[in-house]
Amino acid sequence: MAGSTPASATSEESAALAARPVSYGAERWRLARRLVHVPAGAVGLVLTAAVVFVALFADQLSPGDPFAAAGDSLEPPSGDHWMGTDNLRRDILRGVVHGARTSMTVVVAVVAMASVLGIVIGAVAGYRGGIVDDVLMRITEMLQSIPRFFLAILVVGLFGAGMDNLILLLGLTSWPLLARVVRAETMSVKRWPFVESARAIGAGDGRILLHHVVPNVLPAAVVVISLMGSRVILIEAGLSFLGLGDPNQISWGYLINNAQRFLTVAWWMSVFPGLAIVLAVLGLSLLSDALNDVLNPLTAPRRPGG
């Protein structure tokens, strides 16, 4: 009986240590609420929320077909058309509003796909190590060496312009940076005492990854994911500007492309879609920087007296 007490105590201590990542994760996400108190975070959050709001309620904010004529040709901004009209008599405001939906649809779909791939591949590579790590990282490096924009041009040229093709292409090629960040964080987290304790009391690799490692690498991943969104917006706008976007969907890049011939006579045709791209990218970039400032101090466990 006397010999069973230390073993019981050790088991209880191990269980307590294994539960620690939950408190670390909770502390991180509580600090994330301070995002609004960081100036860059507040501005980024407001801009991003505004773009998302416009995308969600585009039909209510500016009802009608964005490709339909709405007034006279090349009308300057006025009370009837706040952002003016283009050469085909289409309302620029309606195009910008509905263009936000196109951009956000691409961003959400690409980020969701790339996030799953990046987190899974990075976590498995960092946790397993050895040949698994080598193989996954070589694949990651190969994809990183391919210019995504020119690959997108090639794919669109071969398979045709369409939102589905664009989302699939960007989703399958946007995860390498995220995977490398998650891998680095996983290699650090797997050496923390609570992970060793969870392994010592018999927790399997899957449970350790899902419940102990991944929650502690998510803060670093969120920073990369938000930055990924801004890059996707620029790529989608760039392809649409070159005439390689989905011809059935209005987009900011399409509007700027159409404005090229009228820069000197209708400045509003390029300024307002361009401003929408700037604000959307700026919002996500500021949000990414603020998330890094808020979450980065907790990317490693606290030391005694630290």
* CA-based end-to-end distance of the chain: 40
| CA proximity to 277, closest of 104, 41, 68, 65 | 104
Q: Chunk the chain into consecutive blocks of 10 residues (it has 306) and report each block's average pLDDT, rounded to whole numbers.
A: 42 41 50 73 92 95 91 90 93 95 94 95 92 94 85 81 86 93 91 79 79 84 91 90 86 93 92 96 91 63 38
Would you state the pLDDT for residue 292?
A: 80
> Tokens for 265?
């006579």
Residue type, 18: A
Q: Where are the domains of the chain?
A: 22-70+82-298
Would you state the pLDDT for residue 296?
A: 64
What is 22-70+82-298's CATH number? Answer: 1.10.3720.10
Residue type, 279: L
Would you state the pLDDT for residue 19?
A: 41
Instruction: In whole angstroms, give the CA distance from residue 27 to residue 218.
Output: 13
Q: At what angle do helices 39-56 and 92-128 cross, to 10 degrees?
A: 120
Contacts 24+ apart (CB under 8 A), 52-58: 52/104, 54/97, 54/100, 54/101, 55/100, 55/101, 55/103, 55/104, 55/105, 56/101, 58/97, 58/98, 58/100, 58/101
Instruction: In whole angstroms, give the CA distance from residue 197 to residue 215.
Output: 17
Q: At what angle do helices 176-189 and 214-241 cross, to 10 degrees?
A: 170
Find where tokens 């009209």 sit: 85
